[in-house]
Every structure is written in C-alpha cells, then in structure tokens.
Amino acid sequence: MNYDVTVIGGGPAGLAAAIAANKENASVLLVEREARLGGILKQCIHDGFGLVTFGEKLTGPEYCERYIDELLQTDVSVKLLTFVTRIEKNADGFAIHFVNREGAAHVQTRAIVLATGCRERTAKQVFIHGTRPSGVFTAGTAQYYVNLMGELPVKRCVILGSGDIGLIMARRLTMEGAEVIGVYEAKPEPSGLPRNLYQCLDDFGIPLHLSHTVTRVFGDERLTAVEIAQVDKNMRPIANTEKIIECDGLILSVGLIPENELAESIDVAIDRRTKGPICDQKYMTMEKGVFCAGNALHVNDLVDYVTLSAVEAGRNSAYLTNKPRALVHVVAEEGILYTVPSVLDVNEPVSDVTLYFRASRELRNAMLTLRVDGRAVFQKKYSVLRPPEMERLKLNFAQYGITTDSEVSLSLKEVE
C-alpha cells in the first residue's frame, strides 16, 4: 500500500495525470469516488471535445474513453467507489485516508495529484428569495437526469445564467421536448463561449436576456413560477421591472467552483481569484509533493487544456526531489483576471512554460505585455479577448534572466 504517486479523481485530469506518471515508471494509484471513470464527461454527450488534443470533434464519453482504454493497458492501480476523506502529512510523504465498501483504510504516497474537478454554484449561493419547491436544478443535475437517467426533469423552464452548461442544457431540454422560455443573465455580457451561444440558443430560437436575474421563486411542493427583474450595473434589481413567469423548472448555470476541501485540509495555499491552489510551472502547489490539475486547479473552458495540464502535473509528480524551491510571483496587473501558473520556480527549468490567462473584461485591440523588473520583454496583440475564453501562451522565461529578486508581471491594455 505504498505508491510513488496517488491521483485523486478519475475524470479527464486524473486519467491523464495517472497515465503520464506511469509512463515515467512511477507506481501509481488512482482513486475515484464514483463507480465509473470519466468524471463529469460521462454525462456530456454533446460533441466539441478533443479539437486541440486529437484534432477531432468527440463527445465527452468518447473523449474520456480514449484515456480509460489507455489507462487499462497500464499497471496503474485503480480504486473505484472509493472516497478520499482526508490527507495527512508525514515524514515519508502523505497518508491518503479513504472509505469504500470494504471500510476505512489508508495508503502511503510520496506525491499526490489533486484532480477532484469542480462543482456548481447552487441557488443558495445566488440569493434567490421565496419558497424551496422542487424543480430548481443546477444545470449539471438536469444534465445528469436527461443524459444518464433518461428522465425529463422539467416541462417549461427558465435558465438562470449563461454559462456553457446552461446553454448546452437549453438546447438539450428543447431537443427532448421541454419548453425553454429564455436564458436570463445578470451581467451585461454572456458568460458562455460564442460557439455555444450560436449553436445552443440562436439555432433553437431561445432568447437571451442580458442584465436580468431571477429574484424570487414560487410554489409549495413544485415550482409554479419565477419572478425575473432587470438589474442595474451593480447587478441590483431595478424596481418595477419585475415580471412573473409561470414554469415548473428553474435551471441554474451560475458558475463552477474548484473542489478543494482536501487541499485546504493540508493547508495548500488557495488563489482567491481561481479558487484553486496556487501552483508553479510544474503544477506543484505551495505544498511540496502536492500537485493539482484540471478543474480543481482552475475552471477550464476546454477539456483539452485540462488534459494537457494534467499530463504535465502527472509527469512532474513522478520526479519529486528535495531540491529547495526559489519562487517568483507572476503578478496579474491591469486587464488580467488571473494567470496559471501564478508562480515560477526559478530553480527548475523556465524555458518552456505554458501560461494560461483570462482577461478581466472584454477587450478589443489589446496589447499583452510581460514585464520583468518594469521592462517590457514580450508583447502580443489580440483583436478580441473575453473573460469566458481562456488564452494559452508558450513562454521562454529563461531568456529574460529571471532570478528570485525579479518582479514579473502581465498586463493587458487596449491600444489604437
């Protein structure tokens, strides 16, 4: 029960990390709480996955099947229906405590890859007033009912939030015969990817109402109606704009949050912007030996990027050394919402760093500037940048002579 690497979570990130660590000859354990591998992709039966990694348009199950098939060719140990409850630091690394049908047990591991994914924000987190009838679902739960259980949970519904899962469910519910009255988004711009706005709403004639929110729900046993209202620029409902819409379903697509209770339990430092662990270019968190990948690290827009980052995390987890780290922060300045990694370990190679970033607002003709000690060392122009779309940059930081005393920052500014 001793492993070099234990991967927690058997979604696309966990699968890729386990395969990559195994390729480096590490002994690997993969722990998954559900009965099947594949994570959330099991229920994402629409296509669009794999364009970057395979140059093909795959469905979620097809995409993860490729990695499951590859994993099954390896000697990675897999524990299904096993829930990791606790991690404990000790002299030899970490004890991973879990429960399954055989009871409670633990394994010892030198390194961990956290690949626990993310979860959806609920009605409680968006402050909707009124009763608590049935008929209020997160988009992921509705997706689970329709795609995995073959049940239609609503007949006439309103979707709150224009995140990608909400848009995809607007189309899915329509195709299954439900009436989707509209998608209501509190922000003045949509949250989802443009391709989902066209393919899921425009193609099916589903209206998108920006600067609107659901303020109240009605119904005793079952939802009977919702109240919607226009909101001002501070997202506060505007008086006398309220409208009652009769419906039996409210689908929430109001954001995803990385699932990091396990990381926090061993004091892994969390980035307040990504809500995932702070990590360096090797995907190692601020806790030595603890790596993180996929949506547990930050919410990715494409599963392909989840896989690419998890391969790196898995590979690096196989080569844990006692070398001290020398960390330099990449400061997110004007126009940048966040970067991943947000820290560089200059005691490790920095010549081939993949930097992911998001713009903090929609920007046109924007100049990205990387500064080292106040000097602009790299610039790139973007015609349009939107927060829902994650950007990826390959950077050779070695050529800028970065040391532990360097100040590294990234900014975005609109130019003529």
Ligand X SMILES: Cc1cc2nc3c(=O)[nH]c(=O)nc-3n(C[C@H](O)[C@H](O)[C@H](O)COP(=O)(O)OP(=O)(O)OC[C@H]3O[C@@H](n4cnc5c(N)ncnc54)[C@H](O)[C@@H]3O)c2cc1C
Query: Where on the chain is the footprint of ligand X (CB under 6 A)?
Result: 8-14, 31-34, 39-41, 44, 83-84, 115-118, 120, 140, 143, 165, 168, 256, 259, 262, 294-296, 300, 302-303, 306
Q: 3-state class of 4 per DSSP?
A: strand
Q: 3-state class of 216 per DSSP?
A: strand
Nearest 5 degrees, angle CA 17-CA 32-CA 118? 75
Kindly tell me which of 29 and 115 has the beta carbon lying closer to ligand X.
Answer: 115
CB-based contacts of 262: which residues, under 8 Å, 6+ apart?
8, 84, 86, 87, 114, 116
Kindly tell me which of 293 and 368 has the beta carbon lying closer to ligand X.
Answer: 293
Q: Return the DSSP state at 140.
A: H
Of the candidates 221, 45, 59, which has an alpha carbon nearest to the alpha carbon of residue 146? 45
Kindly tell me which of 7 and 231 has the beta carbon lying closer to ligand X.
Answer: 7
Ordered DSSP codes for 321-365: --PPP-EEEEEE-TTEEEEES-EEETTS--SSEEEEEEESS-EEE
* Nearest approach, Cβ of residue 309 and ligand X (Å): 9
* Nearest approach, Cβ of residue 333 and ligand X (Å): 28
| H/E element, 7 | strand 2-8
* Nearest approach, Cβ of residue 288 and ligand X (Å): 21
* Nearest approach, Cβ of residue 255 and ligand X (Å): 10
- How far is CA 149 from its chain centroid? 24
* Nearest approach, Cβ of residue 269 and ligand X (Å): 19
Q: Are strands 343-345 and 136-138 parallel, antiparallel or unpaired?
A: unpaired
* Nearest approach, Cβ of residue 258 and ligand X (Å): 9
Read off φ and ψ for residue 188, nearest 5 degrees: -75, -10
Kindly tell me which of 131 and 265 has the beta carbon lying closer to ligand X.
Answer: 265
Kindly tell me which of 60 and 335 has the beta carbon lying closer to ligand X.
Answer: 60
| Structure-token pair, residue 91 | 């002299």
Of the candidates 182, 212, 214, which has an alpha carbon nearest to the alpha carbon of residue 200? 182
Kindly tell me which of 55 and 374 has the beta carbon lying closer to ligand X.
Answer: 55
* Nearest approach, Cβ of residue 213 and ligand X (Å): 21
Kindly tell me which of 231 and 310 has the beta carbon lying closer to ligand X.
Answer: 310
